[in-house]
Structure 1
Amino acid sequence: MLLLNDTAVSYFWAFWFYAIVAITDLLDGQLARKYGWVSNLGIFLDLTADKIYTAGILICLVATNLLAPWAAIIILVREFVVTGLRSLAASEGVVIPSGRWGKLKMIITIIALGWIMVRANIDRAGWFNAIDFGGGLTWLSHLSSIVLWLAVLLTIMSGVEYIWAAREIFRQPPRQNQD
Structure 2
Amino acid sequence: MNLPNKLTILRIIMVPIFVFFMLTDVGGTANKWIALVLFVVASLTDLLDGKIARKYNLVTNFGKFMDPLADKLLVCSAMICLIEMDKLAAWIVIVIISREFIISGFRLVASDSGVVIAASYWGKFKTVFQMAMVIVLIADLGGIFDVIGSIFVWIALVLTIISLIDYVWKNRQVLTQGGM
TM-score w.r.t. the length of structure 1 is 0.83
Of 155, 162, 172, the residue aligned with 1:167 is 172
Amino acid in structure 2 at the alignment position of 1:18: F
- Does the Cα contact within 8 Å between 2:113 and 2:178 map onto a contact in 1? no
Please state if 1:35 is matched with 2:64: no
Aligned residue for 1:114?
135
1:3 and 1:11 map into 2 onto residues whose CA distance is 6
Amino acid in structure 2 at the alignment position of 1:170: L
Deviation of 1:79 after TM superposition, in Å, equals: 0.6
Amino acid in structure 1 at the alignment position of 2:21: L
Aligned residue for 1:146?
151
Higher RCO by CA contacts (8 Å cutoff, separation 6 or greater):
1
Q: Equivalent residues in 2 for 1:41-120 (5 A)?
A: 41-119=62-140
**Structure 2 stretches of 5 or more lacking a match?**
1-19
Range 68-77 or range 162-171, more displaced: 162-171
**Structure 1 stretches of 5 or more lacking a match?**
123-127, 129-137
2:129 and 2:45 map into 1 onto residues whose CA distance is 17
Please state if 1:4 is matched with 2:23: yes
Aligned residue for 2:13?
none
- Does the Cα contact within 8 Å between 2:110 and 2:178 map onto a contact in 1? no
Q: Secondary structure of the equivalent of 1:37? A: coil
Number of residue pairs the alignment of both structures matches: 159
Q: Which runs of 4+ in 1 moved over 3 A?
A: none
Higher Cα radius of gyration:
1
Instruction: Provide Cα deviations, 1:131-168, integer angstroms capped at 9, x if missing partner.
Output: xxxxxxx2221111011110010001001111112211
2:101 and 2:83 map into 1 onto residues whose CA distance is 18
Deviation of 1:173 after TM superposition, in Å, equals: 5.9
Amino acid in structure 1 at the alignment position of 2:66: L
1:173 and 1:29 map into 2 onto residues whose CA distance is 29
Amino acid in structure 2 at the alignment position of 1:2: F
1:144 and 1:8 map into 2 onto residues whose CA distance is 20
1:107 and 1:57 map into 2 onto residues whose CA distance is 14
1:68 and 1:49 map into 2 onto residues whose CA distance is 23
1:160 and 1:2 map into 2 onto residues whose CA distance is 35
Q: Secondary structure of the equivalent of 1:2? A: helix
Instruction: Provide Cα deviations, 1:86-142, integer angstroms capped at 9, x if missing partner.
Output: 1111111112221121111111111001110111xx3xxxxx6xxxxxxxxx22211
Change (3 A) 1:77 1:173: closer
Amino acid in structure 2 at the alignment position of 1:150: I
Q: Secondary structure of the equivalent of 2:179? A: coil
Q: Secondary structure of the equivalent of 2:118? A: coil
TM-score w.r.t. the length of structure 2 is 0.83
Of 42, 45, 51, the residue aligned with 1:21 is 42
Instruction: Provide Cα deviations, 1:1-36, integer angstroms capped at 9, x if missing partner.
Output: 211136532111111110001111110111111111
Q: What RMSD in Å do the two structures reach over aligned CA positions?
A: 1.6
Range 14-23 or range 38-47, more displaced: 38-47
